[in-house]
Structure 1
Amino acid sequence: MPLTDPASLRVRYSLVLALAAFASGCAQTPAATPGRCEHARYGVHDPAEPINRGIFAFNRTVDDYALAPVARGYRKLPGFFQAGVHNFVANFGEPKVFVNDLLQGNGQRSVNTLGRFVINTTAGIVGLVDVSGKLGIERHEADFGQTFGVWNIAAGPTVELPILGTANLRDATGKVIDFMVSPFGDNSSTVDTLGTLNTAGGIVDGRAQALPLTDELRTRPDYYAALREAVAQRRADVVAEGKLGAVVTGQSTCPDEENADE
């Protein structure tokens, strides 16, 4: 049956709408929620700090003269353009989020992710428009570093990666696996092109999203230590969210808790 046949189109749209309704229902299902203070406890172990600081100095130079200026220029572009890039990058990453949802044993979140990807890829024009968000199906993060944390693998020492920045050993390993895994396969020139666009867009959009935080951290007496602490806190929160299986939509208003030993 031709893809343009009205009956075929009705079937396809009916499937998309059914998946949207199912995912919407899952998204609205009450889940375990964090307590009053949403920040997770974390610890920082940085035995290679002198080496990490040297790599950090290199990364900061690259950022100061390349990444940050491009990100600031990007933020001056029309809002609809930035939203389109952000939505496209988020949608292209949904298959890896889906894989990690499954690895974490979270069926509800995996259904939400699958629903978002199908709806946004079709009705959202390859993800340029976040139709799922408008339907109340919120996006959540899930990556291999988070999955390892959900599996109770220790964070390990701080690692400063060239270009990729600050992480703990668990997340650094997760980033390597993330680069190696391609849910789309490697046999399509179209996918390769979209992947290249996603990588470029993700770098610029991600740096632009981080500008307010890094601009504030740069005012601290020790930028390296401040960024290291902020990354450790954020990743601890991401792992805690994965263990709860709940999407945290707001930031905690609680005071910072004392660091816990790893």
Structure 2
Amino acid sequence: MQTITAVAGLRCVLAEARKAGRRVGFVPTMGYLHDGHLRLVEASRALCDVTVLSIFVNPTQFGPTEDLGTYQRDFARDEKLCRDTGVAILFAPDAKEVYPPPFETFVEPGELAKPLCGAFRPGHFRGVATVVCKLFNMVQPDIALFGQKDLQQCSVIRRMVADLNLPIEIITVPTVREPDGLAMSSRNRFLCAKERRRALAISRGLFAAADEFRSGEREADRLIAIAKRHLAMVDTLKPAESPLRRASALCAAAFIGSTRLIDNVILQQVAI
């Protein structure tokens, strides 16, 4: 595995790979890797000859009161996980490499970025779209892989790729869960034992509503009441109208203590 920190070095190595006809897969992360990230690596390796994983804690997607300063980092641990999982290139740029001063150009996503997490975290998806677009330009992968847990992010990125004519296939990998059902997240480590138990209410509520859906329930209000969270349409991310006739997802976001967790279940499977 090669660890690269400069864009120029990354492009040089990848140019040789492409010259040899090798297919490139890309897994963008903010580090502190868990099994969900490693599942993305496995999927990339199954589809591509070269897997690039990036680690960059992106400052532009954090709000002024959010956890940028406390976001967990352990590069040595992440580097070992990447090597053990078969990552070919670990790309770990610093902020000046990604946002060389004076930086003043951003990608402004549209309607998909406004509801759900976008309403709660103004500017978040502007930062996400900008950094992902830049990373796509740096890596120029054939495919890029994201986890379903970040459903709204997947939708925003898929729309950006289509709107900007980026020649990249976006692949969404199902959410990886702990044995008790909690969606894997780097933020789970912020939970104390009591909060960890409380957090299970998120996935249990979603699963209960999904069970009702499979049993024939199509009234959005009923499903919302079961899940106690938010119901959204996958393609528009707007609150769904009853009865459900289109591909839909149950999306949940909740503070457990001071930690904000998100999760979702797909009710009618579509590309996201």
TM-score (norm 1): 0.30
As a proportion of its length, which structure holds more helix?
Answer: 1
As a proportion of its length, which structure holds more strand?
Answer: 2
| Higher RCO, 1 vs 2 (CA within 8 Å, ≥6 residues apart) | 1
TM-score (norm 2): 0.29
Q: Which has the larger radius of gyration?
A: 1
